[in-house]
Amino acid sequence: MSSAAATPKTASARLVQATVLVLLFGVLFGATRLVPHGSNRGSVVAATGFLLVAGTLLSELVEVVRLPHLSGYLLAGVLAGPYVLGLVDHQTVTELSSINTLALALIAFEGGAELKLDVLRQGLKSLALATVFQSLPILLVMAGVFIAARPFVPFLSELSPTALIGAGLLWGAVAITRSPSATLGILSQTRAAGPLARYTLTFVMTSDIVVVVLIAVTEMVARPLLDPTSSFSVRELTTLGHELFGAVALGTTLGLTLAAYLRLVGRQLSLVFVALGFGASEVLVYLRFDALLTFMVAGFVVQNLSRQGEKMTRAIGEMGSVVYVVFFAIAGAHLELPLLKQLWPVALLLASARGVLTYGAARVSSRLADDVIAVRRWGAAGLISQAGLALGLATAVARAFPSFGAGFAALAVATVAINEMVGPVLFKLALDRTGESSSEPRPSLVSLSAVVATEASEPSDP
């Protein structure tokens, strides 16, 4: 890292960043008023560059109030999005969403690579107890909270009692999802190392497997309750088992292949991960395999069955510093503020209930596992964030059950928005309070570019 990157930010530097940010917004605001939004690729490229720069500058400025960089990325997207300044319109945001495919692939690779066998063995008891208490109990209790909130949720008024139970179970499934992207984003910024960071990372990444299975089972139970013409079929469990086994098998093969490439070639890694992020993801969708699980297994294999884990995580880190900014800025632009304004009382109720249950479950599981003090006190802080998986499930519900699905998805978006804004702040606060955050600053995009350029100019090893 360059010395410039390690220099603390002065008040004058913050002022320059704020000035550049205001000018950037002003120039694009004027440009969008003079020239209407187009549908060409140029507008998409311009929006990507703008979100990257604006998100980076805002992430630096929110450090003044000790907010995480993710908050800056999200805020940049909210301000530039169609509901505030309208610098990036709905169509452009939709087209930019293709970047999410690459970002989620990188998140899964990096998350799998962070699951080291020795760490998993050391925290197996804690991980198992946390998974038990944070999964099915919260699903069932949140289903009850959702049903109890019926008087305040208009689209539930016409549902029969059995259909209401089915909708509640589906909401419970949404409630137990977490956000690997937010977890890795905060850990990347803070460079945290310690019991809390390890606990949160291992739980969030491994719990995705349990959550996928629980969601599938919940959908099978809820469907006959919501649609009397449907029936419960055990064959769907068999299909789920085949899909999970196929994802693990394909992920293992991909991991071994990637490890061989890293050892024998080890060049053009950015292009390799871009090809895997976009190309392999499409193949996995066609095969109906879970892409997140497949890539996570591949990263796990590279880390634990080869000596190429460090090389892989370094390459992903260099790409992620850019991709994650755009990923979360797009998430901010996607936040439907009018919808949040309309549904915020019920969304706040559901988000608060989920937070209280998560905190209680974390305290009970940590006490039974005899975790260290940091995990006992702050273990729930990293489990609040939600993102893609919750929204994906809500969208699937909207398609499958048109009678109430639109309202269900809208409420899910509003609730996830609250968790998406609050969760990263709580997790960073917990890491700071436990002393696990590194005092070494994270390199900026400018310093990263300088490092890459320096490495490119140096002669390669023979």
Tell me the three-class secondary structure of 356-374, residue by residue.
HHHHHHHHHHHHHHCCCHH
Spatial CA neighbour of 76 closest among 330, 448, 407 = 330
Confidence of residue 1 (pLDDT cuts 50, 70, 90): very low
153 and 21: one domain? no
- Ranges 36-45, 55-64, 135-144, 446-455, most confident: 135-144
Residues 84 and 124 in one domain: no
- Which is more confident, 41 or 171? 171
CATH assignment at residue 331: 1.20.1530.20
Residue that wins the pLDDT comparison between 26 and 3 = 26
Query: What is the pLDDT averaged over residues 132-138?
Result: 93
Q: How many domains does the chain have?
A: 2
User: Which residues in 379-400 are b (16+ Cβ under 10 Å) and which e?
Assistant: bbbbbbbbbbbbbebbeebbee
pTM: 0.79
48 against 148, higher pLDDT: 148
Residue scoring higher pLDDT (10 or 373): 373
State which of 32-36, 214-218, 293-297 shows the largest mean pLDDT: 293-297
Regarding predicted confidence, which is higher, 237 or 386? 386
Q: Are 116 and 299 in contact (CB under 8 A)?
A: no
Average pLDDT in the 40-68 region? 84
Domain shared by 199 and 56, yes or no: no
Residue 90: domain span: 3-96
- Provide the pLDDT for residue 226: 84
Question: Is residue 20 located within the same domain as residue 167?
Answer: no
Tally of CB atoms within 10 A around 444:
18
pLDDT in the model for residue 261: 93
Q: Kindly report the CA angle at 56 between 71 and 341, in degrees rounded to 5?
A: 35
Is 201 in the same domain as 307?
Answer: yes
Q: Report the distance separating Cα 235 and Cα 241, nearest Å.
A: 10
Within 8 A by CB and 6+ apart from 227, the residues are: 401
Task: Name the domain boundary from 64, 96, 128.
Answer: 96
Q: Is the pLDDT of residue 453 over 50?
A: no
Give the residue with greater pLDDT, 457 vs 15: 15
Looking at residue 10, the DSSP 8-state letter turns out to be P
Q: What does the pLDDT look like over 232-243, one tens digit per residue?
A: 666 777 777 788
pLDDT digits (tens, 9 = 90+) for 399-452: 888 888 888 888 888 898 889 889 999 999 999 999 998 755 444 443 333 333
Is residue 458 assigned to a domain? no
Q: 386 and 241 share a domain?
A: yes
Q: Which of residues 96, 113, 129 is at a domain's end?
A: 96
Burial of 26 (0-12, 13-18, 19+ CB in 10 A): exposed
Last residue of a domain, one of 81, 96, 111: 96
- Give the pLDDT score at 146: 94
pLDDT digits (tens, 9 = 90+) for 156-212: 888 889 999 999 999 999 999 888 888 888 888 888 889 999 999 899 988 877 887
Please indicate, yes or no, if residue 166 is contained in any of the structural domains: yes
Q: What is the DSSP letter of 176?
A: T
Domain-located, residue 39: yes
Task: Give the residue with greater pLDDT, 7 vs 199.
Answer: 199
Same domain? 112 vs 44? no
Per residue in 296-330, pLDDT (tens digit) is: 899 999 999 999 988 898 888 777 777 778 888 88
Q: Are residues 248 and 328 in the same domain?
A: yes
3-state helix, strand, coil in the chain (%, to 5): 80, 0, 20
pLDDT-based confidence at residue 223 (cuts at 50, 70, 90): confident
